[in-house]
Structure 1
Amino acid sequence: MTPHDSPIRVLMITSEWPVPDGRPRTTFFIKRQAEFLQAAGVAVDVFHFTGAKRPWNYFKAWLQVRRRMAQRPYDLAHAQFGMSGLLALPKRLPLVVTFRGDDVQGIVGWNGRVTLAGRVLQVLCRAVALWADAAIVVSEHMKAFLPRSVRPRVVPSGLDLNLFRPVPRDEARRRLGLPLDRRLVLFVGNPAEPRKRYPLACDGRCAGVHVGAGRLAQHGQRSARVQSPCGLRPGGRRAPPSPRDRGL
């Protein structure tokens, strides 16, 4: 882009960021991507909505997106997660959709099978992929979950190397308040999510360490805690899964 060119204007559609308290939780990668694009000279306008798995919320958000597209001169729309892409259909702009996991792989229950809601989600997101002008997946294996006619690009969620950099192990543990003399497994996912396979992190007979990924990225310390293996309650019962938006 030359100094005489106007910046590319992107409408980014997401239900994950920004959130009311201003913190992006485990979807910090969306905030980081928007900031990196802006630093590269792209004009990014974020449209946030609350899906909460309610069709009425999606319909209201769809109307708002229609209105915003009519009022502002965007060059393209970028939907974060497949369900957000529904808000850009029928297309008024070229549409790019980033698929990030459950949207095309389906929601998995504790029995290891895709749930009914997960199958509906897969069907809708595959339809979005067919309508999109470009599809992005964040890992190579996700290509297999999209229709064969779709040719996605693999764009992993990047790291801010100004924030994340190698430091000596003991120094890192001291900053996080972790024991220096124990073997630890660092688990940054949600233990209640079956797809994250938290029990595998417990099989090594190590002390489990659960880190809130968004908080660790923002504060860099005092966000880790050592906890009992596999997050089991007394008596061996697993704690019930906590609610999660899943990009819906």
Structure 2
Amino acid sequence: MTNFYPFPECPYRGVFVRNQIESVRALGVPVEVFAIKSHLGRSEYLKAPRELYQLLRRERFDLIHAQHTYPLYMVWLIRAMLRLDTPIVLTFRESEFMRPEGFRMDKKGVWAKLITSRRLKRKAISLADHVIAVWSGLMTAIGFEGPYEEMASGIDLGKFRPIPRAEARLELGWGPDERILFFPADRRRRTEKGADLLEAAVALLANKGIALRVEYAVDLPHDRMPYYMAAADAVVHPTRFDASPNVVKEAMAVGTPVVTTVVGDVRQVSSGLESVLWTEPEPADIAEKIEAALRLPQSLEGRTRLEQLGLSEPSVARRLARLYQEWSK
């Protein structure tokens, strides 16, 4: 159950949830998806409880996996109303409560307070029968002292594969001699991802005579992401907060140098890798790290690290399937 899932009108949204479901299904585990169309507006949250109530009254499931704290509240309440004893597993991946002091979210008013509330998130975690955290630091930061399992999303190493830069640029129609950076988010919708910091850094480099073009992932289908990453001279991810950024791992799998802030599990995943350059969320430092990244070749070291950590989609799917078997009613 999730409120973050790709639909035809927003194919980029919650791709990691769909991919995890498909990788578990590939192991023969039957999964039914209940996805709230939150991209259509908050009214969808008002429609969903009735639909979920009818589904849980009609069907019997061995386990319910909630992919967000608010669906968790919904399914927990309906489970109680129907007097079911179906176990609920929660994947906790929300890092909004870790935003820097003074940073204002895109959401405003009561909605902003809800999505950043430590109290509501901590309560939701306590209601689940079992908790998966995509990064252990989330649990420390929110003050949860109960049992949980750390499990980041897996990366599709077949899709995100090493592609020669020249081949990727030919596919996208990019000039072979341009210096191009890839910002793997939509700058219009996700201000916390730091497009403003990147653009300020690019301006600083322009003053030094280093001309760069930035490509943004605006409504970009996930299947095209590997080509954009491979075609770029560097992937730049100057986000202000995150828990377990898949885009960093995907760029590592492709082999393109990455400039990223040290957020979430970035440190534990990429420590010691020359192709992943850590930066402060400041334009001057980002510019310095971009300049260094431009001198680096494509590399397989990041891909090797992901394999060593068991972060391929099949590896994570096997862990999840074992967990489902253990907790199923």
Same fold (TM > 0.5): yes
Distance in 2 (CA, whole Å) between partners of 1:198 and 1:126 is 30
Q: Structure 1: any 5+ residue segments left out of the alignment?
A: 1-12, 226-248
Quote the offset at 1:63 in angstroms: 2.6
Distance in 2 (CA, whole Å) between partners of 1:180 and 1:135 is 47
Query: Residues 77, 191 of structure 1: CA spacing in aligned structure 2 closer, same or farther, 3 A cutoff?
Result: same
**Match in the other structure for 1:78:** 65
Cα deviation, 1:78-105, whole Å, max 9, x if unaligned, reads 112221212211343211122333xx52
Query: Residues 186, 143 of structure 1: CA spacing in aligned structure 2 closer, same or farther, 3 A cutoff?
Result: farther
Quote the offset at 1:40 in angstroms: 1.1
Query: Residues 153, 42 of structure 1: CA spacing in aligned structure 2 closer, same or farther, 3 A cutoff?
Result: same
Q: Secondary structure at the match of 2:181?
A: strand
* Structure whose residues are more often helix by fraction: 2
Distance in 2 (CA, whole Å) between partners of 1:146 and 1:109 is 15
Structure 1 residues 63-72 or 150-159, which shifts more?
150-159
**2:223 matches 1:217:** yes
Q: Which amino acid aligns with 2:161?
A: R
Structure 1 residues 180-189 or 213-222, which shifts more?
213-222
Quote the offset at 1:147 in angstroms: 3.5
Alpha carbons 2:10, 2:219 under 8 Å: kept = no
**Match in the other structure for 1:244:** none
* Structure whose residues are more often strand by fraction: 1
**2:20 matches 1:14:** no
Q: Which amino acid aligns with 1:190?
A: D
**Match in the other structure for 1:120:** 114
Query: Residues 149, 111 of structure 1: CA spacing in aligned structure 2 closer, same or farther, 3 A cutoff?
Result: closer
**What is the TM-score normalised by the length of structure 2?**
0.54
Q: Which amino acid aligns with 2:214?
A: G
**Match in the other structure for 2:155:** 159
**Match in the other structure for 2:244:** none
**Match in the other structure for 1:231:** none
**Percent identical residues:** 25
Q: Secondary structure at the match of 1:83?
A: helix
Query: Residues 140, 198 of structure 1: CA spacing in aligned structure 2 closer, same or farther, 3 A cutoff?
Result: farther
Cα deviation, 1:84-140, whole Å, max 9, x if unaligned, reads 212211343211122333xx5249699514665333222333221110112223334
Quote the offset at 1:198 in angstroms: 1.5
Q: Structure 2: any 5+ residue segments left out of the alignment?
A: 206-211, 233-329
**What is the TM-score normalised by the length of structure 1?**
0.70
Query: Residues 135, 146 of structure 1: CA spacing in aligned structure 2 closer, same or farther, 3 A cutoff?
Result: farther
**Match in the other structure for 1:207:** 213
Quote the offset at 1:61 in angstroms: 1.5
Quote the offset at 1:45 in angstroms: 0.3
Structure 1 residues 165-174 or 21-30, which shifts more?
21-30
Structure 1 residues 81-90 or 143-152, which shifts more?
143-152
Cα deviation, 1:35-81, whole Å, max 9, x if unaligned, reads 11101121100112234563x64343123222212221211111122
Q: Secondary structure at the match of 1:96?
A: strand
Alpha carbons 2:15, 2:222 under 8 Å: kept = no
